[in-house]
Amino acid sequence: MSKGPVKECVRSRTPPRERIIETARDLFHKHGLRGVGVDAIAEAAGTNKMTLYRHFGSKDDLIAACLTEAGREAAQEWDEWEAEFANDPKKLLLEWIDCAMACAVEDPRGCDIANAAVEITEPDHPARKVIAQVKTDHRDRLARICHAAGFRDAELLADALTLLVEGARVSWQSVGPEGPGSRFVQAAQAIVAAFGGPKT
């Protein structure tokens, strides 16, 4: 992370809570939830452990806050797409397919929310509810769009597309661009075509 004067200046104007979340998200993404400790996060955020614990009672609470923020960002992106393609849900669906692919290509570390579900083995971890909620919201958005686009079996199409995109992200991590993750767009388009057009 740059420590130049401009960065420092911007950083000093960002409140500590936001700064810690931003830094933690970056480090968790790169090294995994268990691959980085609160000391390293506090230091990289230009603060100290006491401040971190004042804002977040524990590392687990910080993880939950990071995933909540990731979910908020994703929801905002959906809102923007839905506003842009309000009159053309089928185009929105195809747009989503392209964007999901771009995410996989740009970022071989996969989805932070799904990765968290792998790393968090405790059933009562505070992030568990956040993970389930964000993933359920994502799937329900897809289902609404599939319904709006008039697909005959919109619920199953939304399930299939959700599984495909989850699979693409995780497969990219295992096999890289040589694997089936790189054929996500073709697979998703084939499924959309198979589910047919509007109800008659």
Q: Contact positions toward a copy of itself, by CB under 8 A?
A: 30-32, 34-35, 109-110, 113-115, 117-119, 121, 131-132, 135-136, 139, 153, 156, 158-160, 162-171, 173-176, 178-181, 183-184, 186-187, 190-191, 193-195
Least gap, CB of 178 to a copy of itself (angstroms): 8
User: Which residue has 């709006």 as its token pair?
Assistant: 148
Least gap, CB of 109 to a copy of itself (angstroms): 7
Least gap, CB of 52 to a copy of itself (angstroms): 21
Least gap, CB of 65 to a copy of itself (angstroms): 18
By the 8 A CB rule, do 199 and 179 touch? Answer: no
Least gap, CB of 87 to a copy of itself (angstroms): 27
Rg, Å, the chain Cα set = 19
- Judged by CB, which is closer to a copy of itself: 86, or 175? 175
- Judged by CB, which is closer to a copy of itself: 9, or 193? 193
- Judged by CB, which is closer to a copy of itself: 83, or 193? 193
Segments in the chain forming alpha helices (H):
5-13, 16-31, 38-44, 49-55, 59-84, 89-106, 112-119, 127-148, 154-175, 184-194
- Judged by CB, which is closer to a copy of itself: 30, or 54? 30
Whole-angstrom CA distances from 198 to 43, 78, 81, 145, 160 are 55, 22, 21, 12, 18
- Judged by CB, which is closer to a copy of itself: 6, or 106? 106
Count of CB atoms situated within 10 Å of the CB of 114: 16
Backbone angles phi, psi at 33, to 5 degrees: -65, -35
Query: Which residues does residue 198 pair with via DSSP β-bridges, in sequence order?
Result: 151
